[in-house]
Amino acid sequence: MMMRAAVGLWVLSAVICVGSANSVSLVTEANQEFSFRLYRKLAADADSQGKNIFFSPASVSVALAALSVGARGETHRQLFSGLGFNSSLLTQTDVDQAFQMFLQRANNTSQDTSEGTAVFVDNSFKPKPEFLQTLKQSYLADGFNVDFTNATESAGTINKYVEEKTNGKIDKLVENLDPNTVMYLISYIYYKGKWATPFDPKLTKQDDFNVDENTKVPVDMMNMEERFHSYHDHVLNVTVLQLPFNSSYSMLLMLPDDMATLENRMCPNHLTKWLKWMKPKRQDVYIPKFSIKTSYNLNDVLSEMGMTDMFGGRANLTGISEEQRLKVSDVVHKATLDVDETGATAAAATGIGITLMSFHRVTVLKFNRPFMVLITERHTGKILFLGKIINPTI
């Protein structure tokens, strides 16, 4: 019986001019839907109960779309369907061109964000040239040859690359290597954003954060009184606050009356509605400083979303190689998010903003209980990061 070589698909994150407009919008809509479907799977997972959730939908979808370049038959159908792509409206080429546009735009329009992919290929393995060419052209992939028989050295090579691309935020992506590995496909995203209006560190004070009815934890609570764009959604009973960065990106903070209602019902249409109907008004806002790291093995979650064949004996990755039978060994995702007075950043930074204290009556909005967080590109609606902060101290 032929031994199946393993392809590790690793996804990580730290916290455009090709293709028709129609196909790009279809891929964008699919990516948004995928973001919330994947979030719900992660939130429902037993291991996630009571824990912070944070991941990059953009990074996961890029990695899976890049993998779909080499998938065929039912495996390809499952990847397309799982990502939300309608195969009667979108071809693989449409998808490749859309992602090329997204990645080029992200890397050309902002110094705050860096996105891309990389493929590490064993010296003895020869993928199809057209597969590598599409990865390089459409997914901006860097290509490297490594010796996977030397597990320690090849893991070190991958980890060093990842550490450099995420400015040290993800320093050990690969913990151990499947001995049958012949290729690693990596997607990374690094984002560092400074608030358009920074918080004054002098106003940061220790306060309580209510994890649940019986648990309080001390946090450093930032404070600012300013004109903020916000919206109260009466259908979902959630208050949404927009904190713009000094770029085309924004962080949305969602404070629900009932977290389960928001998690189960939130969809791209709500995001569109919030951004459209937000109005500026003066508010006294309190937000905790926090720094979180998350790590997920997505094999089971993606299988539950219909992408099953790529992990087992039915895997059809003949677009990568017809000479060796391949399967995906692991899909791993790691993410980090740091929020402080200067911004949401994946690197240390300091800054002081001086604001006048005022004493007239304003609305107080205090994020002192579990809330959701979303980082989005305002013009395209692209969701870079999505998560839930249950306890900002862990």
Q: Are residues 148 and 271 in the same domain?
A: no
Q: Are residues 227 and 333 in the same domain?
A: no
User: Percent helix, strand, coil in the chain (nearest 5)?
Assistant: 30, 35, 35
The whole-chain average pLDDT of the chain stands at 85
Task: Kindly report which listed range (49-53, 304-308, 341-345) carries the lowest average pLDDT score.
Answer: 341-345
For 123-214, list the strands marked E by DSSP. 142-146, 181-191, 193-194, 205-212
Q: Are residues 152 and 89 in the same domain?
A: yes
Name the token pair of 14. Answer: 């730290």
What is the CATH classification number for the domain harbouring 159? 3.30.497.10
Between residues 364 and 205, which one has the greater pLDDT? 205
What is the CATH classification number for the domain harbouring 225? 2.30.39.10
CB-based contacts of 86, cutoff 8 Å, min separation 6: 26, 30
Q: For 107-132, what is each residue's pLDDT tens digit?
A: 876 667 788 888 888 898 899 999 99
Domain carrying residue 111 = 5-192+292-337
Q: For 257-278, what is each residue's pLDDT tens digit?
A: 999 999 999 999 999 999 999 9
Q: Are residues 178 and 202 in the same domain?
A: no
Q: Are residues 71 and 137 in the same domain?
A: yes
pTM of the model: 0.89
Mean pLDDT of 363-391: 91
Residue 214 lies in a domain: yes
Taking the CA atoms of 133, 137, 139 and 142 in sequence, report the sign of the dihedral they define: positive
Task: Kindly report which listed range (79-93, 170-184, 220-234, 240-254) carries the lowest average pLDDT score.
Answer: 170-184
Q: For 9-51, what is each residue's pLDDT tens digit?
A: 555 554 433 445 588 999 999 999 999 999 999 999 866 678 8
Q: For 193-218, what is each residue's pLDDT tens digit?
A: 889 999 999 999 999 999 998 999 99
**Number of domains comprising the chain:** 2
pLDDT over 50 (residue 228):
yes
Name the token pair of 32. Answer: 């948004």
